[in-house]
């Protein structure tokens, strides 16, 4: 087996659900439920493509049907680096707030990244990061936070952003406007079902007004 066809492990960081998505202007219970639904859609998109693990201190993290790697504290970058170092093979880190992610998009991104030591994919605005990859987990040096995409590229990571059209993989959700845009791309079944049950649909204007 060559370096470019070894199986991938996808790490999905999960912030404690009671603290997640504070900028998403929805009632607190719905905001938490949306965060969880988006996570379920990300896990479903990644499962056909790679082995999937959560990186989390969420007490209920083990209910999602995938292995949970501990978050030792120290912030997102430290947690991801700690988890990635467990794996000798290729590792990707995928944001958990990508409800429009598709398996085919993730597969295309990982195929493009397979021959690169490390790589990064920007979010839709171009400043953040939705995907990091490394051909060996211990090579991953995350630098999350403001302008993370620029800092990852500045650290020598190859930039996948201009090479592939991956709208669902780049559309992370922090605000209601982001959620509307994700819905235009087509969100996964967990997010669709949750919003429909809460009385929100993509029909009419404004959508998701609360």
**Which positions make up the binding site for phosphoenolpyruvate?**
129, 145, 148
Tokens of 144: 């999350």
Order across the sheet with 91-94: list the strands.
Answer: 68-70, 51-56, 9-14, 91-94, 129-134, 118-122, 158-159
List residues forming the annotated binding site. Answer: 129, 145, 148
- Angle 92-162-186 from CA coordinates, rounded to 5°: 70
Question: What whole-number distance in Å separates Cα of residue 54 and Cα of residue 42?
Answer: 11
- Residue 205 Ramachandran class (φ > 0 left, ψ -120 to 50 alpha, else beta): beta
Maximum Cα–Cα distance across the chain: 52
- At 130 the three-state DSSP class reads strand
Residue 27: count other Cβ atoms within 10 Å of its Cβ.
Answer: 10
169 membership: H or E segment, kind and range: helix 167-170
């Amino acid at each position: 087996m060559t370096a470019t066809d070894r199986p991938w492990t996808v790490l999905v960081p999960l912030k404690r659900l009671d603290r997640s998505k504070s900028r998403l202007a929805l009632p607190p219970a719905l905001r938490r439920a949306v965060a969880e639904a988006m996570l379920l859609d990300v896990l479903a998109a990644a499962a056909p493509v790679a082995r999937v693990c959560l990186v989390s201190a969420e007490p209920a993290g083990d209910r999602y049907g995938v292995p949970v790697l501990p978050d030792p504290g120290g912030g997102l970058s430290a947690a991801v680096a700690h988890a990635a170092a467990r794996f000798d093979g290729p590792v990707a880190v995928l944001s958990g707030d990508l409800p429009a992610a598709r398996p085919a998009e993730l597969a295309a991104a990982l195929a493009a990244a397979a021959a690169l030591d490390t790589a990064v994919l920007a979010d839709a605005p171009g400043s953040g990061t939705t995907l990091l990859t490394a051909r060996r987990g211990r090579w991953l040096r995350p630098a999350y936070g403001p302008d993370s995409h620029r800092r990852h590229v500045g650290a020598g990571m190859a930039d996948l952003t201009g090479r592939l059209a991956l709208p669902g993989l780049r559309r992370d959700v922090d605000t209601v406007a982001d959620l509307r845009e994700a819905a235009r791309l087509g969100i996964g079944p967990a997010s669709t079902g949750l919003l429909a049950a809460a009385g929100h649909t993509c029909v009419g204007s404004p959508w998701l007004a609360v």
